[in-house]
Amino acid sequence: MTVIQLPSSLLARRRAEKQLWEGRRHVVALDPERAEAALRDAWQSARASGSVQLAAEAGEELYQVLLRRRHVDEAIPVLEQMVILRSRRHGGSAELAAAWRNELIQRLGQLGRYAEAEPHCRARLESARRRRPPGARAVGFAEVTLAWCVRSLGRWEEAERLSRDAVAVLDGEAVPRGSVGWALAGLAAVLLRRMALDEAEAALKRAAEDWTSVGRAELAAGIDEQLMDLYVVGERHQDALAVSEAALNRTRRGVAALVDRERQLRNLDRHAFLLTAAGRATSCAPGTCVRRSTHSGVPATAPAWTRPVRSSRVSLCWTGRSPA
């Protein structure tokens, strides 16, 4: 009787397929712990088998489970491998590889690991510039993301240069509306840092107009928050109050409804503080007086939201699924 020895790569592939099926079954059954264990096994076996496609399928499933379980740290190595696998199979400038690189950049930023994100941001920009014909939108967004990264690392001059380049690229006729707002908001964060308040204000207002023109009310609301920060720094409390009142009125009318309860309370806190700073503490709008006790007088140390040295509340890292 002859015993046939199957190649180890074939055995690994068969195990990977079986464990991948098991992992998907546990996902459907809403059992993420068992799904993670099975998918980790599938991921390792698929890589051992040498099948790029199978490894990519297992890696994608494993990443989604890790994300649902909020194991973002553990997801980073999987994302790094997914970028390599998709680049190997489709090319480094392909849309799938770009999408996974963008996801990796976003998660590294979420963890505050900007030094690790920087090489991937640069790779994204190089990839966008290599494309033929080059896409202005892809290049501009890559510059916005790299500017966000180096700004987070404290390299403000480089961030300003990249942001200005991105504004010039995204302001072109060939780029769809709603694009240049990202570069303008990033530029404003740098300008606010070096106290160029007039230029920062102009950039923010242009960004708000750009996003409002395409119906991105949630992004325009983030610009309102930056504008209020800027006005408080410049001791223009009446201007900040006017922006706050307009924002609260839009929310009451349902034009820009906020589902984030914490953000709603923060906005009310800010409005109460601005009423006090503007000398109108007794004329607070309905719904704000309930929070006014926390700002009975202008505090010696201003609330955290009035400190403008950090970047915008709008996420200025563009990690959309467009090709990089």
Low-confidence ranges of the chain (pLDDT < 70): 1-6, 92-93, 173, 251-261, 281-324
What are the domain boundaries of the chain? Answer: 12-111, 112-215, 218-307
* Position 277, amino acid: A
What would the two tokens of residue 305 be? 């939201």
> For residue 111, what pLDDT is reported?
94
Encode burial over 9-46: b for 16+ CB neighbours within 10 A, e otherwise. eeebbebbbebbebbbebbeeeebeebbbbbbbbbbbb
Give burial (CB, 10 Å; 0-12/13-18/19+) of 1: exposed
> For residue 306, what pLDDT is reported?
36
> For residue 286, what pLDDT is reported?
47
> For residue 260, what pLDDT is reported?
62
| 8 Å CB contact between 132 and 97 | no
Enumerate residues 6+ apart whose C-beta is below 8 A from 98: 124, 127, 322, 323, 324
> For residue 2, what pLDDT is reported?
56
| Residue found by looking up tokens 């240049």 in the block | 180
Answer CATH for 112-215 from 1.10.12.10, 3.50.50.60, 1.20.1260.10, 1.25.40.10: 1.25.40.10
Strands (E) located in the chain = none
CA–CA gap between residue 318 and residue 106 (Å, rounded):
8
Question: DSSP letters along 43-79, please?
Answer: HHHHHHHT-HHHHHHHHHHHHHHHHHTT-HHHHHHHH
Closest CA to 233 of 209, 198, 181: 198
- Phi/psi zone of residue 250: left (φ > 0), alpha (ψ -120 to 50 degrees), beta? alpha
> For residue 311, what pLDDT is reported?
38
CA–CA gap between residue 36 and residue 108 (Å, rounded):
21
DSSP H or E run through 274: helix 261-277
What would the two tokens of residue 26 be? 């546990």
| 8 Å CB contact between 186 and 163 | yes
> For residue 271, what pLDDT is reported?
82
CATH architecture of the region 12-111: Alpha Horseshoe (1.25)
> For residue 8, what pLDDT is reported?
79
In a 13 Å sphere around the CA of 52, the CA atoms on its Cβ side amount to: 10
Using alpha carbons only, give the angle 147, 151, 156 rounded to the nearest 5 degrees: 100
CA–CA gap between residue 88 and residue 51 (Å, rounded):
11
> For residue 119, what pLDDT is reported?
95
Report how far Cα 316 is from the mean position of its chain's Cα atoms. Answer: 6
> For residue 301, what pLDDT is reported?
38
